[in-house]
Amino acid sequence: MAEIGKTVLDSGWLAARSTEVHLSGTQLTTTHSPSGLDKPWMEAAVPGTVLGTLVKNKAVPDPFYGLENEAIIDIADSGREYYTFWFFTTFQCKLSANQHLDLNFRGINYSAEVYLNGNKKILPKGMFRRHSLDVTDILHPDGQNLLAVLVHPPDHPGTIPPEGGQGGDHEIGKDVATQYVEGWDWMAPIRDRNTGIWDEVSISITGPVKIIDPHLVSTFFDGYKRVYLHTTTELENKSSSVVECDLNIQVTSELEGGVCIV
Amino acid sequence: EHLQTQHLSIPSGKRVQHTFPQLFFYKPNLWWPNGMGKQALYHVTITVDVKGHGESDSWSHMYGFRKIESYIDSATGGRLFKVNGQPIFIRGGNWILSDGLLRLSKKRYKTDIKFHADMNFNMIRCWGGGLAERPEFYHYCDIYGLLVWQEFWITGDVDGRGVPVSNPNGPLDHDLFMLCARDTVKLLRNHPSLALWVGGNEQVPPPDINNALKDELKLHPHFESLHNTGKTVQELS
């Protein structure tokens, strides 16, 4: 039985500009997966942004040195396609009976299409939202899974006025995304507006029941002598039958020197 | 006494919400901001075992017992903070983000946040034009005792007070803004360092967003019941 828990996917990623890849996501994750660093594919920084990956591969100068940022084409001039990128990786996973697998993205800027073993799923717009896809039914029988993610920039990347200014032409404010990326008095514009898989990617294996977003709240009485911990959690039964389960909560405190009391 | 098991059955394909009976602690070690005491953290683990299958999922989090209150002082118009009933003089720093290209790392967060603690700060304000900071940021604020003032994604310059005046009604999709705000609150709400949610920087969000944020960030009705026992609001975190 595969061990339950989370595995972060933060290595072995490749990236390529979408306009230089003439394959579909289905082909990339079935018959024509990239085999390595053959052009236009390059080593990708995930989590990270398109520009982070381009800087890592020295495909552009480091924007934080001198006036190098001026040498990087801005998305307003290049168009959104220029910074629309494919990200590709593989992962090994073989489930046992009654186990489920979620593919989790903790932050995508700004929207994306996910292809896993030839199956397409959509990650809707919004930079500050998590995405969790139940991919149990589309895993590869032999355990070797191919994952491709096509990431699109914000809808309104805006144009930087010649005089710069706080937030450029403010177009980025039409989206739900970080606003400094059009430049501020302390910061030059970020050329790709931070497009990318900017936060953690993980896969999590569970049994039939999944714990979702517990909420911990404490209440205090009698001058903090009498304290209560209130815990609420969501639970999802992913199986096709009623399940009987035991839900356990345990609180331990670490005393000095690593001694624990339960 | 800090171990509890609840038995429940969940219909197929359903998503349910379950609240444990409250756990009682006598004089627990409290979490204090930098300079006021220790940042005592407890390890909370939740597991679910399914009959005929075994352990199905588990979740854990470092949790600190603390009560944070803040209100506008009528005399000065400034916001006063109290932690565990003790007034605290806020020494805060502005925070935009760790790296302009979002090359975020635990190591960098730990270094940056410990630096703030070493500078004798006790609060970090996350500016609305940056990020809703990440769990790793909050983890080190929990450890080093930095309270966090977290703004949502509205700034005066871009939303209605800049030059040129633009987006007076904020982002185009208010439902998307609220969806992102709700998910962000769920991601960060269990961190003891989280002290204050703020609508935006130098600007009040559009009325529908601002009212929804204020309404949904109120104390959960579950705790209203405690009011009926004559407990004042002072006694709720």
pLDDT tens for A139-198 read 999 999 999 999 999 999 999 999 888 999 999 999 999 999 999 998 999 999 999 999
pLDDT, averaged across chain A = 95
- Residue A247 to residue B20: CA distance in whole angstroms: 9
B126 neighbourhood in chain A, CB within 8 Å: none
What is the Cα–Cα distance from B177 to A201, expressed in whole angstroms? 22
| Per-residue pLDDT band at A262 (split at 50, 70, 90) | low
Instruction: Check CB contact of A67 with chain B, cutoff 8 Å.
Output: no
CB proximity A228 to B under 8 Å: yes
Nearest to B155 among A49, A179, A214 (CB): A179
Mutation target among B7, B24, B57, B180 for the A interface, most CBs of A within 10 A = B57
What mean pLDDT comes out for the span B200-227?
Answer: 85
Task: Tally Cβ neighbours within 10 Å of residue B94.
Answer: 11
**How far apart are the CA of A67 and the nearest CA of chain B, in angstroms?**
15
Give the per-residue pLDDT at A12. Answer: 97
Give the residue numbers of B annotated as catalytic, written as ranges: 202
Buried b (16+ CB within 10 A) or exposed e, A68-90: ebeebebbbeeebebbbbbbbbb
pLDDT at B228 > cutoff 50: no
pLDDT digits (tens, 9 = 90+) for A54-74: 999 999 999 999 999 999 999
Confidence class for position A256, pLDDT limits 50, 70, 90: low
In whole angstroms, what is the distance from residue B103 CA to residue A62 CA?
13
Whole-number percent of chain B with pLDDT over 90: 89
Give chain B positions within 8 Å (CB) of A220: 65, 67, 84, 235-237
Average pLDDT over residues B139-167: 95
Distance from CA of A81 to the nearest CA of B (A): 19
What crossing angle do the helices spanning B135-144 and B174-188 adopt, rounded to 10°?
40
Contact A250/B14, CB-based, under 8 Å?
no
User: What 8-state DSSP symbol labels residue A106?
Assistant: S
Of B3, B102, B159, the CB nearest to A173: B159
On whether any CB of chain B is under 8 Å from the CB of A6, the answer is no
What local confidence, expressed as pLDDT, does residue B222 receive? Answer: 65
**pLDDT confidence bin for A108, thresholds 50/70/90:** very high
Instruction: Name the nearest CA neighbour of A88 among A146, A151, A20.
Output: A146
Taking an 8 Å cut-off on Cβ atoms, the answer to whether A217 and B51 are in contact is no
pLDDT digits (tens, 9 = 90+) for B22-45: 999 999 999 999 999 999 999 999
Residue B169: CB atoms within 10 Å:
13
Measured between alpha carbons, how far is A104 from A122 in angstroms, rounded to an integer? 13
- How far does A31 lie from chain B, in Å, by closest CA? 33
